[in-house]
Structure 1
Amino acid sequence: MKLLLLAGTGEARRLAQALAQVPGLEVTASLSGATRAPMALPVPTRSGGFGGEEAQKDYMQSNGIEAVVDATHPFAHRISARTAALCSELGLPYVQLLRPAWQPELGDTWVQVASGQDAPAHIPPGARVFLAVGRQTLTEFESLTQCHLICRQIDPPDAPFPFPNGEFRVGRPPFSIEDEEALFRKLRIDWLAVKNAGGEASKTKLVAARNLGLPVLMLARPPQPDGAKVETVEDALTWVQEQMT
């Protein structure tokens, strides 16, 4: 069976490692190309997106794709919605590997919002804000003109910070709780802004914020496509094996 794996997450990497060992399965992973030097996957990999709906449909048909596992980031909702719709149109099995969202725990101070555009209603002027939201979401925080913004990204920036009141900070995960606490202290952070990505690997910044008593602006997930969903790599692997029988 020819399987298309939409990758880009730690779960996708672990799933690719398991799928590479399944006899009779031909896997192609697809990366968006958002990270310049991603770690290699153990299966054939394409990078750079598809170039739109029709181009993706043509790719899937011309390459004989028979099933799709969508293991993209929970905020990659456009490619998820498009792929789910294409699979429905083409009659292909589709499943989304979607990690559970984070939930506030004892000691957390979260403000849950739909968008970074809601930030000025909650973050006071003069605050130093650590934006762990990625550069694609950065523009949502343009209205925090009276705050100092620090945005962390994996790759060195190819352009200056888009607002005069901010700066980039380069860092490649994983980050330990101790690393995050030390960084927040060094930068004198008052607020943490983060997408509700879920998962254990990137949860360390939330634990660090809790330990330091920092409030968190939590961006809610966008709507996800209809269709089959699993929460773990193991369940995704089982789903793939079921499609092969």
Structure 2
Amino acid sequence: MTVLVLAGTREGREIAAGLAARAIPVLASLAGRTRRPLEAGVPLRTGGFGGADGFRETLAEQGIKAVIDATHPFAEAITQRTARICAEDGLPYVVLRRPGWQPRPGDDWTRIAREADLAAHVPRGATVFLATGPQRIEAFTGLEGRRVLCRRIDPAPGPFPYENGDWVVSRPPFSVDDETALFSLLGVDVLATKDSGGEDGRAKLAAARALGLKVVLLDRPPLPEGAQVVETVEAALNWAENS
């Protein structure tokens, strides 16, 4: 039985390596290039599937008998499509979703359901730092009169979409000291971020706590109805062994 792992997260890479270590045939898939390569010996494909038809072709060509979706918690389109196809084709399917972040003493957090809700929590004249990535920056509407900064890992292909704003180009990992110094230098008043969970992004939350900044967290999109969900790498590996 070959297991397809949509391995776009740290947990996805760990699952792929864990399956190989247990002698379970595995094919890992990454949407693009990554700075964190998979373990040696784990078969890998990169790039998109080319839509639903391309995904089904890959399943058939590779003899896939089960799918573990360990994509980013905000990769909604991929997760919804994968769940639908696996349900239609009767293919065992599980989603790994690490737990979301929870506030700690000293945190000042507000949760929002969609990007357009952010403006209500950023006073006019304030500086808001978007640690949400550039992909949906245009969805943060109504931010006129605020200074808007957005972090990205590569130079921008075009101008910043807001008149009073700019890109902040930097590449992770970021330490708490790095984030604290950056927010202080830029005069950040509000940090906006996705509730991605995991350890990789905690530094910015700790920096906001230390500086007394308000944090606005974008809630995760809903999971596919009826999907089986696990929260840990070990649980995903056990599921694969028993599928």
TM-score bracket for the superposition, by shorter chain length:
over 0.9
Q: Distance in 2 between matches of 1:231 and 1:122?
A: 31
Superposition deviation, residue 31 in structure 1: 1.6
Aligned residue runs from structure 1 range 9-158, under 5 A: 9-23=9-23, 25-33=24-32, 37-42=34-39, 43-158=42-157
Superposition deviation, residue 168 in structure 1: 1.4
Superposition deviation, residue 62 in structure 1: 2.5
Is the CA contact 1:112–1:218 (under 8 Å) kept in the aligned structure 2? yes
After superposing the two structures, state which structure 1 stretch, 195-204 or 159-168, moved more: 159-168
1:46-90 deviation line (CA, Å, top 9, x unaligned): 222112122212221222111101000000011111111111111
Is the CA contact 1:142–1:163 (under 8 Å) kept in the aligned structure 2? no
After superposing the two structures, state which structure 1 stretch, 195-204 or 152-161, moved more: 152-161
Gaps of 5+ in 1: none
Q: Distance in 1 between matches of 2:171 and 2:14?
A: 18
- Tell me which amino acid in the other structure corresponds to 1:145: E
- Tell me which amino acid in the other structure corresponds to 1:154: I
Q: Percent identity?
A: 51
Gaps of 5+ in 2: none
Aligned residue runs from structure 1 range 230-241, under 5 A: 230-241=230-241
How many correspondences in the alignment? 240
- Tell me which amino acid in the other structure corresponds to 1:14: E
Q: Which residue does the alignment assign to 1:229?
A: 229
1:144-184 deviation line (CA, Å, top 9, x unaligned): 12111111122222222222222111222221111111111
Superposed structure 1 runs of 4+ greater than 3 Å apart = none
Q: Given the two structures, how large is their TM-score scaled by the length of structure 2?
A: 0.93
Superposition deviation, residue 37 in structure 1: 4.6
Q: Distance in 2 between matches of 1:11 and 1:160?
A: 34
Q: Distance in 1 between matches of 2:100 and 2:73?
A: 9
Q: Distance in 2 between matches of 1:77 and 1:138?
A: 16
Q: Distance in 1 between matches of 2:157 and 2:55?
A: 28
